[in-house]
Amino acid sequence: MIRVENVTVQAGDYALKNVNLHVPEGTSRIVLGPSGTGKTLLLEAMLGLRAVAAGRIFIGGREVTNLPPEARGIAYMPQDGALFPHLSVRENICFGRRVHGTLAGVATELPELCQALHISDAMLARHSIRSLSGGERQRVALARSLLVKPNVLFLDESFSALDANVRQQLLLQLRQIQQARRQTLVYVTHNQYDAELLGDDVTVVLGGAIAQTAPVRDLCVTPGSAAIAQFLQLPNMVALQRASVDEPFRCDALSWTLPTDALAVTVTIRREACHVLAAGQAEALGLTNTVAATVTSVFTAQRRDYARVTLSDGTVLECDVALWQLHADGLPEVGAMVLVHVPSNAVSLIGATRYTQGANE
């Protein structure tokens, strides 16, 4: 559906160079990266809002490199929604269809779309958008973008100003619509949790280049580099060494055999896959590869409970406490000595796996 071939785009002294990107039809692609890294430049090039210095852009099999935005068969929802204050809610939603002279069928399509986005009849009947909340405004803007049936819907940090609950609801509703319609979607954000809710694949942009493209789950399990892992703020990034390729990698009393001939590697250990154990649990559950550790703190993240523990060699790990809670009431106490179990499938080599669709991906 979208193919970016060796594109270079300049903005003052900053540039994205020789970028390659492919977004298959009917998929949701997240373009993820910190502020100032170039992801909006890439979006503007695909939208036709910024001329490219080199390379070509295709949408739906048609080259659009030099076409204006209105000739690309796309829709764009900016961060502020860009609603028209002098128009009613209904008029705002139908604006694109009216401009293109394609109002036929709207009477049937509009109620279905409003139902999917939880836009009530009362909201649709409002004569002004001024009384709408932030979440309601974004629903209206999203409905306007989808009603024109674009080949591709582009969104730029479109829900970042909303509180977490409203943003999550909108993202889930958009995901449901995108999957039902097989709508091709490109969403630019710095928020990895938005990517998890909405994306099929994620393209990470760092330092003016595409650093990695991967399915949403794989990105956090096997980040392509330490820089990506750091941007994602992945816990449990550990450097390991061994004396020869015949030995396993060791971390204190833990050991793992990893698919590499390297003597020194950096790994991530998924905190939800390693567990704090109470006395006797390892034997009762038949778990091996355990190590003694001291609890230094306990916390809740994404509605799961974790403990941060320190091994005798100084390594700090964040671990799930669900198995502990099956054995004992509450959370482990700070300062308590516990066992930690880290299975092999919790450990991933950084940079060992990469899913690419172009030279720069």
CA 50 remoteness from chain centre? 25
Q: Are residues 35 and 181 in the same domain?
A: yes
CATH number at residue 133: 3.40.50.300
pLDDT digits (tens, 9 = 90+) for 83-118: 899 999 999 999 988 988 888 888 899 999 999 899
Residue 300 lies in a domain: yes
Q: What percent of the chain has pLDDT over 90?
A: 65
Tell me, yes or no, whether 101 and 200 share the same domain. Answer: yes
In a domain, 85, yes or no: yes
Same domain for 202 and 178, yes or no, is yes
- Compute the mean pLDDT over every residue in the chain, rounded to the nearest whole number: 90
On the question of pLDDT at 359 being above 80, the answer is: no
Confidence of residue 323 (pLDDT cuts 50, 70, 90): very high
Q: Are residue 28 and residue 44 in the same domain, yes or no?
A: yes
Return the percentage of the chain with pLDDT > 70, whole number: 97
Domain-ending residue, one of 193, 226, 259: 226
Same domain, 182 and 244: no
Domain span at residue 106 reads 2-226
* 211 and 251 part of one domain: no
Instruction: Check residue 255 and give its pLDDT.
Output: 94
Residue 339 CB contacts under 8 Å (≥ 6 apart), including other chains: 276, 277, 278, 279, 281, 282, 290, 291, 292, 293
- Final residue of a domain: which of 226, 253, 285? 226
pLDDT given at position 328: 80
Reported as a pLDDT band with limits 50, 70 and 90, residue 140 is very high
- Look at residue 357 and tell me if it is in a domain: no
For the ranges 158-167, 191-200, 225-234, which has the lowest average pLDDT?
158-167
Structural domain contains residue 276 = yes
In a domain, 356, yes or no: no
Find the CATH number of the domain harbouring 299: 2.40.50.140
Report helix angle 106-116 to 164-181, nearest 10.
130
Q: Please report how many Cα atoms fall inside a 13 Å half-sphere around the Cα of residue 288, on the Cβ side.
A: 3
**Residue 33's pLDDT band (cuts 50, 70, 90):** very high
Query: Do 188 and 250 belong to one domain?
Result: no
Q: Is residue 66 part of a domain?
A: yes
Which of 226, 251, 283 is the last residue in one of the domains? 226
261/315 same-domain check: yes
75 and 109 inside one domain: yes
Report the domain count for the chain.
2
Mean pLDDT of 325-336: 89
117 with 253, same domain? no
In a domain, 361, yes or no: no
Per-residue pLDDT tens digits for 202-221: 999 998 899 999 998 888 88
Please give, one letter per residue, the 3-state secondary structure of the chain.
CEEEEEEEEEECCEEEEEEEEEECCCCEEEEECCCCCCHHHHHHHHHCCCCCCEEEEEECCEECCCCCHHHCCEEEECCCCCCCCCCCHHHHHHHHHHHCCCCCCHHHHHHHHHHHCCCCHHHHCCCCCCCCCHHHHHHHHHHHHHHCCCCEEEEECCCCCCCHHHHHHHHHHHHHHHHHHCCEEEEEECCHHHHHHHCCEEEEEECCEEEEEEEHHHHHHCCCCHHHHHHCCCCCEEEEECCCCCCCEEECCEEECCCCCCCEEEEEECHHHCEEECCCHHHHHCCCCEEEEEEEEEEEECCEEEEEEEECCCCEEEEECHHHHHHCCCCCCCCCEEEEECCHHHEEECCCCCECCCCCC
Question: Do 158 and 302 sit in the same domain of this protein?
Answer: no
Please report whether residue 297 resides in a domain. yes
Please check whether residues 243 and 300 belong to one and the same domain.
yes
Contact (CB, 8 A) for 204 and 174: no
